[in-house]
């Protein structure tokens, strides 16, 4: 291939890149060739939480709270699902799913252990259909679970127990 032909191909590639729309340039390239946003594990947990909260607000939940910081502890707060339109919440969660904060290593293992403990606690306190968490430690709660007559009392009890929960060293070590 001659030098002129190679430079011609470089020019075509550069022009094509310059003419692509900004929407095509956003996100993270995937093996399938598409682009989808993904959690940037290089961001601190606090920054991940701030980005997620901002996304939720931009997608119809203007009162979605920023993470709560106490000393070195960052708590990702949610929104009371009883105070929002469930369709709006569902759309916002779907739109922001790629930005859900992700803990890794020992912190991730501790979060997962606490999420399993909370699910077990909720079932032990009368919410028989409370689901186990997914691999990221999140549990999607169907309306039937939230409407269980024991839900509010169990949630209050288990919230306090889960906050004070300390997994065994084998989980975090």
pLDDT in tens, 11-63: 333 333 333 333 333 334 334 444 444 444 578 888 999 999 999 999 999 99
**Structural domain harbouring 170:** 104-173
Is 167 within a domain?
A: yes
Residues 170 and 115 in one domain: yes
Residues 65 and 110 in one domain: no
Residues 95 and 109 in one domain: no
Q: Which among 102, 127, 154 is the end of a domain?
A: 102
Between CA 87 and CA 40 the distance in angstroms is: 27
Q: Which two tokens stand for residue 10?
A: 């470089």
Question: What is the CB neighbour count within 10 angstroms for residue 48?
Answer: 22
Is 49 within a domain?
A: yes
Residue 77's contacts (CB-CB under 8 Å, 6 or more residues apart) are 65, 66, 67, 68
Residue 104's contacts (CB-CB under 8 Å, 6 or more residues apart) are 41
Residue 132: predicted pLDDT: 92
Residue 168: predicted pLDDT: 60
Greater pLDDT, 58 or 102:
58
pLDDT of 9 strictly over 80: no
Residues 132 and 72 in one domain: no
pLDDT of 114 strictly over 80: yes
Is 75 within a domain?
A: yes
Residues 116 and 167 in one domain: yes
Q: Which among 74, 102, 130 is the end of a domain?
A: 102
Q: Which among 69, 102, 135 is the end of a domain?
A: 102
Tally the domains of the chain: 2
Q: What percent of the chain has pLDDT over 90?
A: 35
């Amino acid at each position: 291939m001659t030098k002129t032909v190679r430079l011609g191909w470089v020019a075509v590639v550069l022009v094509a890149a310059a003419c692509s729309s900004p929407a095509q340039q956003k996100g993270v390239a995937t093996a399938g060739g598409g682009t989808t946003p993904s959690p940037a594990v290089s961001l601190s947990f606090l920054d991940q939480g701030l980005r997620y909260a901002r996304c939720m607000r931009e997608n119809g939940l203007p009162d979605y709270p920023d993470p709560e910081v106490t000393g070195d502890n960052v708590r990702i707060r949610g929104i009371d699902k009883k105070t929002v339109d469930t369709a709006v919440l569902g759309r916002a969660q779907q739109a922001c799913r790629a930005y859900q904060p992700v803990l890794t290593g020992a912190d991730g293992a501790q979060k997962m252990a606490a999420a399993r403990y909370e699910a077990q606690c909720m079932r032990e306190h009368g919410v028989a259909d409370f689901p186990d968490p997914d691999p990221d430690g999140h549990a999607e709660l169907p309306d039937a679970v939230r409407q269980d007559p024991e839900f509010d009392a169990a949630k209050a009890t288990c919230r306090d127990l889960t906050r004070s929960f300390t997994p065994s060293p084998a989980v975090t070590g």
